[in-house]
């Protein structure tokens, strides 16, 4: 039986109990305590969500783009009005420092809803005269889309997937990661308050099985997943049975290259942002920091001085820079990578183990960690750790560093610091990554396409490009003359 603290499934504009009565706990990563029980969606619930979405989508797609856009912009405003509450929820469920969540989570989700709200009325086709007549094209919604989220940016991911989908006239069934299921439900409530028709945004919480039920469902036209490379492959294989379109936002092991003429303070700041923000649990992180040998010593000195000042602590304390890992399991994985780094001969410059936070002894805290003395073939240099572990690597020439930076099956992001404008663009051109930052790192304005190359993903989120992944293009030929048949 559900009790009043349980968070239920959100289907057709209201909370409903799961058909088979299953629940799971969501924890506060800073304390290990249970926040509440959460309903777990099974196949019957996914079926119910699909039926609801079918009805919701038909009504939604019949509305004009301008009307749909108004709802999305209103939802963006509501997110901003509830910023404090949402930021706290995100920090509580995901362990993210409260110094980050108002802007990086709530603000970026609101920006996204506002951007796509503004674009909704502008979706248009093209016209071209051709021999015998003309054709025009119609970007049509796909129908019912499913979004499956990772746990590191729960609200942002829910917005990045739902805003373009809804703006284009689709319905979305969203499955948040089981570790952070709460904020997507608040988003659903705010969508309703903004006037979104029932069934256009449904939320089904659960584990991989819930995601699999969505991927297998024949009436779902598209899956957009944010998650690990292995999950991406499993989703793509499963989606092949019903030939669904997929957008995959997967993992990375991105390089940041600091050339000898770089502004060192900016480069150090970017390297820290790219490794310690959200305790290093960011897909695009610059976990391989290549520094030109001639400046490496001064770079490291500045980096260590600033890293020593980082405050690991309670995510709800505004002075905290680094919160806990999302779960005890994930913390063990990150600690195991730190040990591996030491075993394989890496030189530990700072950190390297569990962090103790007074009063939060059961929290999943680890120390911001920097390794030097590494080679490209070591495990921590090759594999995604998804924690605050920075690998320092030296280099001598541009050709050498580009070759080493690209020697990975990942291709999500990359960055470089130089004052040489020609080199900046040459290296950006040479990096085999979906996103490149010149003289900055990890900025993701909503206007900018976001997505990886190689095994880091397929498709783009954000910007108008996202519409290509949530619409199908119909071509209509119109004859202006008679049919000239040879029979
Ligand atoms: P996972 O791949 O473990 O999970 C992602 C989501 O997929 C979760 O909701 C999960 O459910 C669900 N899922 C798991 N297995 C299946 C399946 N077989 N079919 C359908 N759904 C499934 O990733 P994490 O949540 O651990 O997130 C961390 C990863 O996400 C990192 O690799 C990171 O790089 C990547 N990421 C990529 C981003 C990008 O934009 N490129 C951004 C953020 C993160 P559940 O967890 O509830 O069991």
Per the rule left: phi > 0, alpha: psi between -120 and 50, beta: everything else, 359 is left
Does any ligand 1 atom lie closer than 6 A to the CB of residue 387?
no
- pLDDT (average), residues 206-233: 98
Q: How far apart are CA 78 and CA 188, in angstroms?
A: 11
Could you tell me the distance, in angstroms and rounded to a whole number, from the CA of residue 226 to the centre of ligand 1? 5
Q: How confident is the model at residue 4 (pLDDT cuts 50, 70, 90)?
A: confident
- pLDDT (average), residues 411-419: 98
- pLDDT (average), residues 38-60: 98
Could you tell me the distance, in angstroms and rounded to a whole number, from the CA of residue 331 to the centre of ligand 1? 16
- Please provide the average confidence, as pLDDT, over all residues in the chain: 98
Q: How far apart are CA 114 and CA 72, in angstroms?
A: 6
Can 283 be counted among the known catalytic residues?
yes
Can 301 be counted among the known catalytic residues?
no
| Residue 413 contacts residue 434 (beta carbons within 8 Å) | yes
- pLDDT (average), residues 392-419: 98
- pLDDT (average), residues 354-373: 98
Could you tell me the distance, in angstroms and rounded to a whole number, from the CA of residue 177 to the centre of ligand 1? 7
* Confidence at residue 140, expressed as pLDDT on a 0 to 100 scale: 98
Can 383 be counted among the known catalytic residues?
no
Best residue among 226, 247, 452 to mutate for probing ligand 1's pocket (most ligand atoms within 8 Å of CB) is: 226
* Confidence at residue 105, expressed as pLDDT on a 0 to 100 scale: 98
Q: Are strands 23-27 and 14-16 parallel, antiparallel or unpaired?
A: unpaired
Above pLDDT 90, what percent of the chain? 99
* Confidence at residue 144, expressed as pLDDT on a 0 to 100 scale: 98
* Confidence at residue 2, expressed as pLDDT on a 0 to 100 scale: 74
pLDDT at 43 over 80: yes
Does any ligand 1 atom lie closer than 6 A to the CB of residue 383?
no
Could you tell me the distance, in angstroms and rounded to a whole number, from the CA of residue 228 to the centre of ligand 1? 5
Q: Look at ligand 1, atom 44, and give the residue with the nearest C-alpha.
A: 283
- pLDDT (average), residues 404-427: 98
pLDDT tens, residue by residue, 103-161: 999 999 999 999 999 999 999 999 999 999 999 999 999 999 999 999 999 999 999 99
pLDDT tens, residue by residue, 381-400: 999 999 999 999 999 999 99
* Assessment of whether the complete model's pTM goes beyond 0.85: yes
* Confidence at residue 3, expressed as pLDDT on a 0 to 100 scale: 82
């Amino acid at each position: 039986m559900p009790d009043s603290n349980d968070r239920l499934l959100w289907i057709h504009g209201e909370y409903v109990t799961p058909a088979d009565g299953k629940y799971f706990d969501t924890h506060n990563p800073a304390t290990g305590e249970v926040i509440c029980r959460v309903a777990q969606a099974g196949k019957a619930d996914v079926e119910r969500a699909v039926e609801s979405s079918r009805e919701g989508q038909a009504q939604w797609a019949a509305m004009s783009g301008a009307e749909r856009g108004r709802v999305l912009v209103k939802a963006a405003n509501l997110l901003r009005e509830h910023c404090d509450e949402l930021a706290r929820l995100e920090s509580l469920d995901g362990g993210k420092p409260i110094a980050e969540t108002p802007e990086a989570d709530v603000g970026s989700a609101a920006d996204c809803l506002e951007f796509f709200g503004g674009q909704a009325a502008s979706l248009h086709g093209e016209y071209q005269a051709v021999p015998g007549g003309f054709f025009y094209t119609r970007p049509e919604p796909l129908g019912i889309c499913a979004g499956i989220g990772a746990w590191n940016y729960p609200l942002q991911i829910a917005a990045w997937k739902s805003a373009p989908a809804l703006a284009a006239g689709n319905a979305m069934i969203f499955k948040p990661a089981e570790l952070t299921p709460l904020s997507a439900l608040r988003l659903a409530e705010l969508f309703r308050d903004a006037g979104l028709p029932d069934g256009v945004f449904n939320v089904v919480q659960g584990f991989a099985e819930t995601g699999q039920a969505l991927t297998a469902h024949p009436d779902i036209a598209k899956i957009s997943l944010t998650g690990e490379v292995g999950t991406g492959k499993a989703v793509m294989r499963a989606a092949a049975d019903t030939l669904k379109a997929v957008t995959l936002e997967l993992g990375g092991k991105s390089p940041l290259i600091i050339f000898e003429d770089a502004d060192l303070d900016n480069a150090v700041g970017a390297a820290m942002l790219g490794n310690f923000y959200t305790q290093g649990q960011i897909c695009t992180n610059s976990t391989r920091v290549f520094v030109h040998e001639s400046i490496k010593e001064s770079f490291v000195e500045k980096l260590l001085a600033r890293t020593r000042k980082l405050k690991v602590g309670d995510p709800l304390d505004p002075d905290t820079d680094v919160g806990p890992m999302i779960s005890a399991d994930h913390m063990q994985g990150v600690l195991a990578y730190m040990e591996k780094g030491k075993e394989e001969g890496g030189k530990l410059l700072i950190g390297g183990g569990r962090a103790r936070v007074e009063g939060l002894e059961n929290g999943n805290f680890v120390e911001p960690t920097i390794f030097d003395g590494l080679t490209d073939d070591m495990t921590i240099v090759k594999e995604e750790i998804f924690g605050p572990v920075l690998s320092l690597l030296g280099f001598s020439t541009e050709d050498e560093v580009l070759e080493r930076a690209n020697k990975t099956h990942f291709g999500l992001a990359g960055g470089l610091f130089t004052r040489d404008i020609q080199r900046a663009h040459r290296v950006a051109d040479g990096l085999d990554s979906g996103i490149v930052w010149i003289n900055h790192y990890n900025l993701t304005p909503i206007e900018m396409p976001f997505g990886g190359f190689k095994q880091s993903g397929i498709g783009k989120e954000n910007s108008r490009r996202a519409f290509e992944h949530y619409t199908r293009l119909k071509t209509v030929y119109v004859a202006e003359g008679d049919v000239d048949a040879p029979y």
